Chains A and B, each alone.
Chain A
């Protein structure tokens, strides 16, 4: 490498492009250091510092809105797309942190290392959304995943949590292998790891499009991301990990990292493989249908609510995939909108579960919710709103999100796919409504005396309600932002 190249490489650094995640990392490291100088078991300061960190990071995200910041020789881009997703991650992380302290105390793990891990995981997700080079995306994915492995297995004396962590780790690392091999093959075909360069090269050399190496690379990369999104048939880890992991982490995993995987998957497919669009939309069509059907049908048979929400999150990944199959502006912006809406409604539902559970969470079954709505009116109403939103009924965020995504599919000519999606939503009514039937139409078995209402969790629930209703009643503004954010 000669001197000129080095000079150019250094001039193109542009710290603004990574400033949000850099700040988040610095807050996380600072928190780690503060933790070791305080007596074990103190966690209040960690909650506050993490929340401040998230807010400060959010302010720096806006630097990239409308004024894209490219850095490190185009390996990182803080553009509208990244900014929108970054806000989604920050919302998910903030709601998670708000409900964590109470939960960790109840389960007997008041360990403050938890919060830096959430911050690092969020920073990894942000790199995934803003990565425009395979290297950045891979690093972001790994920073996120390694943090999540630890968080899923965080309760080290609980066998369920151990199993969740180990299972997530083994299958996550396995899928990373596929992703990497795909990246290597595409690098071999095009000679670059930069997303735009790959796309231009493939577009210019159409003879390469049918090359087995290109197709194998495309499929392997897709498998790596579909695993993280938990698309059927790569979903087998999801229910187990979601059930075994600490509840706030389950909430976070279903919203933040899933959105991050969608972000990089969208960017890679749109930047690199736009020449192969007919092929990958056909592939995703089948997977979207499978995912919706399998997720919804198995969710019907579940009696554990945490596990039911895990299967429902698989189904929701299927709805979002419909937007990718549509592959037009409404479909893509629908995904962005839906991920934000899903962060509010799903994390809200899990926040109610955090309050409703006893130590060990053996009572989070349908039976355990008998009469819950009468005994705890506020939580009952909150749960009702979140379930309505998950069902996709107006006037909630879930309805608006599904509406945009299916509208995109219809506009792209996939009428049947939209019909299947709507039918699946109808199926999902059954198992969501069943929870409400137990909450309101069964005699209470218990007095729910253990349910306390700590301020932080209530704040989290209120924010989630506000988000779900705002995005449902006036979706226009956020949808306009989402439209500005897609390519």
Chain B
């Protein structure tokens, strides 16, 4: 386990010519952007007034704080994604050596997946995956329990 030898890849010396074209390209891009910005800043017409500083100029007045609370289901889905997504690294590390790990390895990875399935089933049955009307129904049903 501890003695997997992977020799370092031999790195060729960095040649200046290989990077010259890239350097010129970056230089031109930066130059163009800088010129455009400078020109619009120097030649453009400037107005400063209260109305100009509003988020939506000549639009509807904003009525409330911009920092709204997001609905919790979005957060839940994000967290479930992270949790189930990251478990893939274990399945993937089994998959790269599945033929050599044989049935014993298959059994272990199956148990692992079973654990994940139990988790998913629990989420599903407790209504964590429900959206919209079905979630509202679920909430009404559970209202007497805090």
Binding site for B on A (CB under 8 A): 1, 3, 5-6, 9-10, 13, 29, 32-33, 36-37, 40-41, 73, 108-111, 157, 191-192
> Do B126 and A36 touch (CB < 8 A)?
yes
> Do A29 and B115 touch (CB < 8 A)?
yes
Which residues in A have their C-beta under 8 angstroms from that of B118? 29, 32-33
- Say if the beta carbon of B104 comes within 8 Å of chain A: yes
- Say if the beta carbon of B102 comes within 8 Å of chain A: yes
Which residues in B have their C-beta under 8 angstroms from that of A13? 104
> Do B1 and A73 touch (CB < 8 A)?
yes
User: Do A10 and B2 form a contact, CB below 8 Å, given A3-B100, A36-B121?
Assistant: no
Within B1-54, the residues touching A (CB, 8 Å) are 1-2, 4
> Do A6 and B100 touch (CB < 8 A)?
yes
Return the contact of B142 from the options A10, A40, A108 (Cβ within 8 A). Answer: A40
Chain B interface, number of residues (Cβ within 8 angstroms): 18
CA distance A32 to B120 in the complex (A): 11
- Say if the beta carbon of B68 comes within 8 Å of chain A: no
Grouping DSSP codes into helix (H, G, I), strand (E, B) and loop, the A interface class, with mixed when no group exceeds half, is loop
Binding site for A on B (CB under 8 A): 1-2, 4, 97, 100-102, 104-105, 115, 118, 121-122, 125-126, 142, 145-146
Distance of A93 from chain B, by nearest CB (Å): 20
Q: How many A-B residue pairs have CB under 8 A?
A: 37
Which residues in B have their C-beta under 8 angstroms from that of A32? 118, 122
> Do A6 and B146 touch (CB < 8 A)?
no
With A10-B105, A13-B104, A109-B146 already in contact, 18 other A-B pairs whose C-beta atoms are closer than 8 Å: A3-B100, A5-B1, A6-B97, A6-B100, A6-B101, A10-B101, A29-B118, A32-B118, A32-B122, A33-B121, A36-B121, A36-B122, A36-B125, A36-B126, A40-B142, A41-B145, A73-B1, A157-B146
> Do B100 and A108 touch (CB < 8 A)?
no
Closest A residue by C-beta to B142: A40
CA distance A3 to B100 in the complex (A): 7
CA distance A33 to B126 in the complex (A): 10
Which residues in A have their C-beta under 8 angstroms from that of B105? 10
Closest B residue by C-beta to A13: B104
CA distance A40 to B146 in the complex (A): 10
Which residues in A have their C-beta under 8 angstroms from that of B101? 6, 10
Which residues in B have their C-beta under 8 angstroms from that of A109? 146
> Do B115 and A37 touch (CB < 8 A)?
no
> What are 12 sample pairs from A and B whose C-beta atoms fall under 8 A apart?
A1-B4, A3-B100, A10-B105, A29-B118, A33-B121, A33-B122, A36-B121, A36-B125, A36-B126, A37-B125, A111-B145, A157-B146
Which residues in A have their C-beta under 8 angstroms from that of B142? 40
Which residues in B have their C-beta under 8 angstroms from that of A29? 115, 118
Closest A residue by C-beta to B141: A40
CA distance A10 to B106 in the complex (A): 11
Distance of A127 from chain B, by nearest CB (Å): 15
Return the contact of A1 from the options B97, B104, B145 (Cβ within 8 A). Answer: B97
- Ranked 10 nearest A-B pairs via Cβ: A36-B125, A6-B100, A29-B118, A10-B104, A40-B145, A32-B122, A36-B126, A3-B100, A1-B4, A36-B122
Closest A residue by C-beta to B118: A29
CA distance A37 to B2 in the complex (A): 46
Distance of B95 from chain A, by nearest CB (Å): 14
Which residues in A have their C-beta under 8 angstroms from that of B122? 32-33, 36
